[in-house]
Amino acid sequence: MTLQPSAISRRDVLSMAGVLGVALAAPGFAQSSAAPLLTQVDLAVIAEIADIIVPATDTPGAKAAGVAEFARMMVSEWFVLAERQRFLSELHAFQQQATTQHGKAFLELSAREQQTLVGSVLESAERRAPASKEKPPFIVLVKRLTVLGYYTSEIGAAEELELNLVPGKYEPCARSGPDTHAGSTGFRNATFSAT
């Protein structure tokens, strides 16, 4: 095998070790199909959060790129039962927090209120994250799903970033400046972790 520059993220190494554990123990996939799924309201909340993380600017944002639908698919089809349950319960607690703080549902808040709430929850999670051994809170998972879903969508990969599936040449040291759009594909597929 070869080793590319990006090939040794710690997560890769750990996920390899984790996967081996799965391989040797009983896999946890069997129970997943009976698990609860996202409601239309859940989906709408995720769509708003995603669009706050990656908004429309001079290119379309997460909503236009269909990130919520991608997140729904990942949560239902990719997450294992325990991950999905935790994600849903924290998502519902977040919605409850909006109601408690503002007296109305998250979806009924103004754009500014939504942004402030998402910002504060995300910032506090990200402040804790580097030192924390706990599992990533749902807001961090929504962010990861947003980044993955957006930059692998046609809008994110081809409009926001530069998509060149067959470059035809390699320039080892091309110029880059403030207006450069980085390439959206590489040697390796992206990886994702829900833990």
Partner 1 sequence: MTTREQEFDAIVVGSGISGGWAAKELTEKGLEVLLIERGRNIVPGQDYTGEHQPPWHFPFRGVGDRRAYDRERPVQRQCYACTEGSDHFFVKDSEHPYQQNPQRPFSWIRGYHLGGRSITWGRVVPRWGEVNFAENARDGWAPDWPIRYNDIQKWYDYVEDFAGISGQTDVQYEAAPYGKYLPPIQMNCLEEHVAQVLKEKFPHIGMMSQPTAVLSRAHGGRSACHFCGPCHRGCSTGSYFSSLSSTLPAAEATGKLTKLTDTIVAGLDYDPKTRRVIGVRTIHSKSRVRGTYRSRIVFLNASTLGTTQILLLSRSEAFPNGLANSSGVLGHYLMDHVMGPATRGTYDLFNDRMPVGNRPIGIYVPRFRNLNGKETDFYRGYGFQGGAERLNWTRGMSMPGFGKNFKHALRGPGPWRFALSGFGECLPYYENRVELDEKRMDQWGIPQLRISFQWGENERRMAKDMLDQGEAIHRAAGAIHIERFSELLPGGLTVHEMGTARMGRDPKSSVLNGFNQAHDVPNLFVTDGACMASSAAQNPSITYMALTARSADYAITQLKSGAI
Name which of residues 90 to 149 contact partner 1 (CB under 8 A).
115, 118-119, 122-123, 126, 143-144, 147-149
Question: Which residues, in sequence order, are CB contacts of 38 under 8 Å at separation 6+?
Answer: 46, 72, 75, 76, 88
Contacts to partner 1 from residues 13-32, by CB under 8 A: 13, 16-17, 19-20, 22-24, 27-29, 32
Of 14 and 93, nearer to partner 1 (C-beta) is: 14
Tokens 């450069």 locate to: 180
Figure out which of the listed residues 37, 39, 78, 132 binds partner 1, where binding follows CB under 8 A: 78
Figure out which of the listed residues 44, 102, 158, 195 binds partner 1, where binding follows CB under 8 A: 158
In the complex, the smallest distance separating the C-beta of residue 122 from partner 1, rounded to whole angstroms, is: 6
Distance CA 159, CA 151 (A): 10
* Torsion over CA: 142, 148, 151, 152 (sign): negative
How many residues interact with partner 1 (rule CB under 8 A)? 83
Contact between 43 and partner 1 (CB under 8 A)? Answer: no
Q: What is the largest distance, in Å, between two alpha-carbon atoms of the chain?
A: 58
The residue type at 23: A
